[in-house]
Amino acid sequence: MAEKENSALRLHRFIEKMVPQHPPNKQTAQVLVDAFGVAKGANQREQNVILARVMGLLFDELESLVADLRRAGHSEQSIEPIVRPFDSLSGGGLATQWSAHIHLFSASLPVLLMVGETFPADSAAVSQGELSELNNSIEKLRAEVQHSTLPDEVKRYVFEQLDIITRAIRDYPLAGAKAFKAAVREAIFHTGEHADVVAEYKDTPELNGLKQIQEKAVTYAKYAIEVSKFVGALDSLYHHAQAAPAVAHQLVGLVQHVVK
């Protein structure tokens, strides 16, 4: 059964991954990267990119939660145990040893849990099994496209679309459905930019496989937009690839639904 989803519980689950890390003299930045998950053999540049991503996601969730708490009438004093650990990361906090922060983050856990259990869910949850299944579909299609006879431009388009959704899967534990919402929005614009490249190949097995993956991403985004409308709009983008005004019109109409 999928876990309840809201900002407080997502922060709670992430901090639970941070607190047990050893040794205590480990750099705090490395604690964040390891809690998020980093591929074996990732070089320093790749880890720096991940760190920047983690910090952005963490503070987005924190700001969302603080706004919800204030709207619910909570005092700044009651919110302080939640924000204080994150405030300690400012300046040179990331470069300091984890032992300097662990007590603050540990103290925030019961508060976040209480808030998370009290506040309503902000979206229907996606289970780990569903995320794994989507990731497997992506990797299967990636291999099929790699070994296909599609032109390099079309392959590149498909790979870039798959990368967008893969990032959403990676970000989901911290961002929730917002990760897929952002991915769908990016995928729509990306398709509009490359519609002339893929128009001729819209009925190939590889492009049909991509549409099925896009459908699943839309479902997880929990948008007020029917999957059939999204796929139909993509079909229209492909069909009108040579008519720039038509493509622009379709994009504007679709994005008006997506960004709500």
Mean pLDDT by 10 residues, the chain (260 residues): 83 97 92 89 89 95 96 94 94 90 96 95 89 97 96 94 96 93 90 81 91 91 52 53 46 45
What per-residue confidence (pLDDT) applies to 41?
79
Residue whose structure tokens are 């952005």: 56
27 strand-pairing partners: 97
Whether residue 17 contacts residue 4, with contact meaning beta carbons closer than 8 Å, is answered with no
pLDDT at 24: 87
| Amino acid 235: pLDDT | 55
Residues 6+ apart with CB under 8 A from 235: 202
- 3-class state of residue 97 by DSSP: strand
> Which pLDDT value is given to residue 2?
57
Return d(Cα 154, Cα 183) in angstroms, integer.
19
Q: Are 79 and 109 in contact (CB under 8 A)?
A: no
pLDDT of 242: 46
List all residues 6 or more positions away from 47 whose beta carbon is below 8 Å from its beta carbon: 33, 38
Which whole-number Å values give the CA distances from 199 to 99, 164, 191, 233, 252, in the listed order? 56, 20, 10, 13, 19
Give the SS3 label for residue 32.
helix
CA distance 231 to 241: 15
Q: What pLDDT was estimated at residue 73?
A: 94
- Residue 255's pLDDT is 47
| Domain locations in the chain as residue ranges | 7-118, 128-258
Q: Are 257 and 224 in contact (CB under 8 A)?
A: yes
Question: What pLDDT does 196 receive?
Answer: 79
Q: How many Å apart are CA 20 and CA 235, to the nearest integer?
A: 49
Burial class (CB in 10 A: 0-12, 13-18, 19+), 74: middle
Output the six-digit token pair for 79.
Answer: 């919110």
